[in-house]
Structure 1
């Protein structure tokens, strides 16, 4: 039991420091409104709490309105503020039936917030792009605008008793508008809930009408959309109906921005059973998520791992890949990699399909030895989830980029999207972009970085804009091999000899030893990369080893043909 002597510090910890302080401040303003003789003094006291709330919620007030998550914030303090406004109006002769209606409207608004917040918990995403009635997965508007307008109106309401009578009528109009918006938000929530229940009830019929031949199954951390984005265009080219099945709401939102194919959100393992329609023959996977096994347990389907890149990283030889029926790999190197790492894999589960994503990578036109000021792509990877996957050179990135600038190079900077998740890596990205922009102002060189290189341009665009690349142990190295252009890899934990032994792809690259702070062989590496290029022939042979012995013309067709064959779809057939 909590007694009356609970310390303020403990109460603040339980309720939240700012809500507690603002509630105390609001209670004090109520006392002033009840006792102060001067209208101005009382008015100032009453308006301070909503202004403090507005300051605390300035992002909600002055930025884009948020969703229902902002509802009910500082609700107790706002109720007390309404009481203070009513007391102020009453003590100074402003109280009337008009004020009673105004206060009632704002109380209704606060209760509507409670309803919106409660109902919104049941307005889950569920599906989109399916035939039939529209799937209501998005709100008609940002429900947070109710909170935004209500808080702004509360400030005006606190001032109204000190202003001309017209201010009270303005508060009445605002109150009516906010209640109307709140009621519309409630109706929208109810409509979305009904639409979800109706869709769920008829899901088997919807799937049977769609007749999906396969699913693209995806579960990953937020911000991982690139994992499926690289495969969607090629799955579309299989020419058969399919759907994307995701396991998190964040993945659903990302996928819905990437494709117009049907997307189905299945939160629980048992939800997957409803997706097993007679037309379904197989499932494609793009990562090693633990939730993959929720679907691979259905043995009558063909389960195919695509992964999301070709590299020597540790996850590429994860034994968990044995859970799939087939592993589509780019070339022979991916098969040999398992044996080299001591991971026993049945040979019959592999299919060499190339890396269809590199079909638009342009081949080298002229040897780099003839270029005076080449353009170099610096594409560092991220830090990885585990110690054995920490290959990033980004913390040495400023030294690498500065040396490129000193040599007169133009730089394309394209870090892995996950680099921004960690403070130190994010700071390194910012520092490099500042260097490039400062150099561009001085020299006029057109470096590519930031939004242009990371959003407007694809990774293939970055490949094609460069004459050479510096990267880490990363799938971009394997993809860049298709261009036959010179490349370098950075070793952050091994000597050059150890690095080439552990990561065979490095045999095609010039290796920078970044195990110390000095980057001792940086000049030597850049000389080989940008001037001499002694590994040109080696790269050509290793490109075949890693990316398959597949004719460059219609390179992506190999994946399409093999995928259709494994799904049992005739080469000439098409289901639209």
Structure 2
């Protein structure tokens, strides 16, 4: 009964669930103690509500958002507590002037909060730029400084907590029957609120000095004219978050190694928060009309990692060649979408990708498909370089439930918990890496995901004594946190200020930072795996450890139909595809290319012990030869390297675009106003 309640409230841990219950209990107790009246009970409940509320914001933000959706937002909670305080004062027969003053202070505080919010929105509107920029010098744009962080960031929390002096003063007055502290508390709360309001009002005049849209775009076009980008990576997704930006981040290092000058074009402002480290110029242009004003006369090739409605805004650039490169090579329908016909070329990893598109008869011209490999797979170590640990390590990486039941390939719902239970019975170590979108559409998937986490955590506790780590003079957690902060700094994720401030401070990078980035990531991974021990189960959910580092740790992969499997093929290690519908082996292998080198796991997991023999007894690995054959079919040959083939494809298409431009008469502006995305017929992106 409690598990469905946790899922409904979006609470991820039992500790968070306990805090949520404590918050509810404190608010239930406040009116009871106010009506009795019971001063010390009210003080205790009030203190608990303040502390627990703040804690839940840090550890269970999804639950706080759910409360807001249920109309129990932060303002409502603070207002309810303050009103109940006044009710307590009435029940304890506080003097009328004290009650009247308290009511006035409470009303004035919330009135000033409304005015503060209005001014905050005015400043945000005035400072909103048509573009946001990274790694280009926008110092000449004349963008004013952002308001001080104390006034602008998390202002609601700051303003609401100014009720603390009033709260404490009135409770002190009720406890002592002397009202000096009460008057002082009223004055401090009212005075600080007014002071912050006046300070923010002074920032409005500065914000109004923000340059007009035309001036900002003109400055950006001067920078683009100096840089002269030839290749653009274009990305859009309506609900951008870290869950989707992997589609861009996976291509950054490949772009940095091109012969041509690359540019990254993003369409959603939230993208910047999750963009990885790069020395490349990055432009975020939310509106199609502003995108149409960018001057990119040297642009020859536009690369698209996903299918999105806003792609049409760039596809109308007739002078450039447009290429769908995707964000993984899987057997899902999205990897052979008819929508891809709108692009000039489709770049796939190997022959398998070409054949997948050819199944869509009369849709994609074979000449438009180019095999370029997967440059991102270089960090994956071969099985011959792998050193096994004391226990077989199984990486279970199920895909998510998809946008609909038609494209639902996840094994979590039909067999996920049974599979993990069987793995634990086999005495192996489990690395569980769910897809970032797991549980977004299906509550069943979310419940299975939570159950697996709890099973692994319980088994870790049983193994704790055997997994005791040696004492170390160095605290790995603190060093890992330092590394994360430096990685965020290199990626530009911890820059202070809004988009306008970050654009104001944008400069060309003095160095690439890639060597330091890779060294820090390697050190972080070394500390992470040594800290957790060689036998401890792990639930991997963040950007670190990376997926490919999990590949390098694993002896075998268990996954569903997804690009994760195609990438793992590069290691030549054994891997397993879940066959949740118990299709005949021949039918399953015929339907999914990557099944050609896979062990197939039935829904009841009866084949699991025999499959694990391929790890425990490496000589007993009947699918080894099939994996070697499949690797070239799916990912292409080892020579020339994927990076060389990708670079050659860019250069060849750029030369073709130049030739076609020379054959045509000049057409004026490069970008023209785009069509409505709804009429473009493009599908939403499909995470692999």
Q: Shorter-chain TM-score category?
A: 0.7 to 0.9
Give the number of the structure whose alpha-carbon radius of gyration is greater.
1
Q: How does the TM-score come out when normalised to structure 2? A: 0.65
* Structure 1 residues 236-385: aligned runs within 5 Å: 236-238=256-258, 240-255=260-275, 258-259=277-278, 261-342=280-361, 344-365=363-384, 373-385=391-403
8 Å CA contact retained: 2:119, 2:200:
no
Q: 2:180 aligns with which of 152, 161, 165?
A: 165
1:483 matched to 2:571? The reply is: yes
Q: Match of 1:567, SS?
A: helix
Per mean C-alpha deviation after superposition, the further-off stretch among 276-285 and 537-546 is 276-285
8 Å CA contact retained: 2:89, 2:99:
no
Q: Which runs of 5+ in 1 are unaligned?
A: 1-21, 33-39, 570-576
8 Å CA contact retained: 2:383, 2:571:
yes
- Closer, same or farther in 2 for the Cα pair 1:510/1:234, shift >3 Å? same
Cα deviation, 1:171-230, whole Å, max 9, x if unaligned, reads 423433333333444555665575474635644334334433232211223321111111
Q: 2:584 aligns with which of 495, 510, 522?
A: 495
8 Å CA contact retained: 1:124, 1:137:
no
1:178 match: 193
- Closer, same or farther in 2 for the Cα pair 1:390/1:429, shift >3 Å? same
Q: Distance in 2 between matches of 1:366 and 1:200?
A: 51
8 Å CA contact retained: 1:72, 1:113:
no
Q: Which fold has the larger relative contact order, with Cα–Cα distance below 8 Å and residues 6 or more apart in sequence?
A: 2
2:645 match: 558
Q: Distance in 2 between matches of 1:502 and 1:492?
A: 14
Q: Please report how far the alpha carbon of residue 509 of structure 1 lies from its aligned counterpart in structure 2 after TM superposition.
A: 0.6
* Structure 1 residues 498-509: aligned runs within 5 Å: 498-509=587-598
Q: Match of 1:365, SS?
A: helix
Cα deviation, 1:323-377, whole Å, max 9, x if unaligned, reads 1112121111101111234363122222221101111111111899x99842221
2:228 match: 211
- Closer, same or farther in 2 for the Cα pair 1:160/1:282, shift >3 Å? farther
8 Å CA contact retained: 2:46, 2:81:
no
Q: Match of 1:456, SS?
A: coil
Q: Please report how far the alpha carbon of residue 567 of structure 1 lies from its aligned counterpart in structure 2 after TM superposition.
A: 3.1
Q: Please report how far the alpha carbon of residue 555 of structure 1 lies from its aligned counterpart in structure 2 after TM superposition.
A: 4.2
1:474 match: 562
8 Å CA contact retained: 1:481, 1:543:
yes
Q: Please report how far the alpha carbon of residue 318 of structure 1 lies from its aligned counterpart in structure 2 after TM superposition.
A: 0.1
Per mean C-alpha deviation after superposition, the further-off stretch among 437-446 and 281-290 is 437-446
* Structure 1 residues 107-146: aligned runs within 5 Å: 107-117=111-121, 119-120=123-124, 124=128, 126-129=131-134, 130-133=136-139, 140=149, 141-146=153-158
CA RMSD of aligned residues (A): 4.4
Q: Which runs of 5+ in 2 are unaligned?
A: 1-26, 468-533, 657-688
- Closer, same or farther in 2 for the Cα pair 1:526/1:118, shift >3 Å? same
Q: Distance in 2 between matches of 1:367 and 1:58?
A: 46
Per mean C-alpha deviation after superposition, the further-off stretch among 347-356 and 225-234 is 347-356
- Closer, same or farther in 2 for the Cα pair 1:59/1:123, shift >3 Å? farther
Q: How does the TM-score come out when normalised to structure 1? A: 0.76
Cα deviation, 1:450-478, whole Å, max 9, x if unaligned, reads 25x64321111011111211111011111
Q: 2:459 aligns with which of 403, 428, 439?
A: 439
- Closer, same or farther in 2 for the Cα pair 1:91/1:376, shift >3 Å? closer
- Closer, same or farther in 2 for the Cα pair 1:187/1:335, shift >3 Å? farther
8 Å CA contact retained: 2:230, 2:260:
yes
Q: Distance in 1 between matches of 2:461 and 2:51?
A: 39
Cα deviation, 1:88-147, whole Å, max 9, x if unaligned, reads 998348999x99999867754543233324544565474032312379789833222343
Q: Distance in 1 between matches of 2:167 and 2:251?
A: 52
Q: Distance in 1 between matches of 2:579 and 2:265?
A: 38
1:152 matched to 2:164? The reply is: yes
- Closer, same or farther in 2 for the Cα pair 1:320/1:105, shift >3 Å? closer
